[in-house]
Amino acid sequence: MKNNIITPRYNLEGVFLRQIHSFVCRKGRTTTSQLSAIKKYWSLIGVDFQLNALNFSSIFKHRAPIILEIGFGSGESLVKTAMNFPEKNFLGIEVYKSGIGSCLHYASSYQIQNLRIIYYDATEVMYNMIPDDTLSKVQIFFPDPWHKKRHHKRRLLKNIFLKIITKKLIIDGILHIATDSESYAFYILDEIKDIKNYKNLSEKNNFVKRPVSRIITKFEKKGLLQGKKIFDLMFQLKK
């Protein structure tokens, strides 16, 4: 597994160009168990970043609809969802090594066969690795809301990224977002409203009820106990 999660960029004079990302490259603590899982199972489930589009037939054992999850955290809910839907293939993207190790541990424990994961910046993965018109669903659960206004530029779900997703989804494919930040939820609605390909599946053109297929995570349970409201947004890609 490669250790870098972003592609460094330089100008013509060779000066490093600082980029704005939706995450911070912090050195979080990776446990011995997580490091062990990476060593043991990355070659079985992990997919290294590349500048060419993936051939999904070569990385998955069976041909099936592909669901992409961006920022899967510990990976526990992603693994359980993959286990609940063996007739579908799941691809996860995460930038924190602790989450990668944790996900690999869960996947090996449940002997999951229909899951692959990528350790890299999701924006670059979407641009370079995901072929157009291939994903049946993209799910992004509890992305960092970057609450302070000066940090809004770091938000992942801006208009430009939402447009990229339209190119990767198949027609009638689904974009499902969940957040516990009301301000971010309305920000997303505002960013997506002018993208004509998306049809909001909410009757009131705002939020939907949590689908039973979306497993409640530990993070979400903690938020609910604190009285936080959860917002589910769901859109379908139309011609």
Positions annotated as catalytic residues are 144
Sequence ranges of the binding site: 69, 94, 121, 144, 148, 180, 217-220
d(CA 42, CA 78): 16
User: Burial of 163 by CB count in 10 Å (0-12 exposed, 13-18 middle, 19+ buried)?
Assistant: middle
Please state, in angstroms and as integers, the Cα–Cα distance from residue 236 to each residue in 138, 173, 197, following that order.
Answer: 10, 6, 8
Structure tokens at 105: 């541990």
* Cα torsion 166, 172, 173, 174: sign: positive
SS3 category, 110 = coil
Beta carbons of 56 and 66 less than 8 angstroms apart: yes
How much of the chain is helix, strand and coil, in % rounded to 5? Answer: 35, 20, 45
d(CA 237, CA 239): 7
DSSP element (H, E) containing 164: helix 159-168
Sequence ranges of the binding site for S-adenosyl-L-methionine: 69, 94, 121, 144
Phi-psi region of 209 (alpha: psi -120 to 50; beta: other; left: phi over 0): beta
Sequence ranges of the binding site for substrate: 148, 180, 217-220
What does residue 71 show for φ and ψ, rounded to 5 degrees? Answer: 75, 70
In the block, residue with structure tokens 């859109």: 235
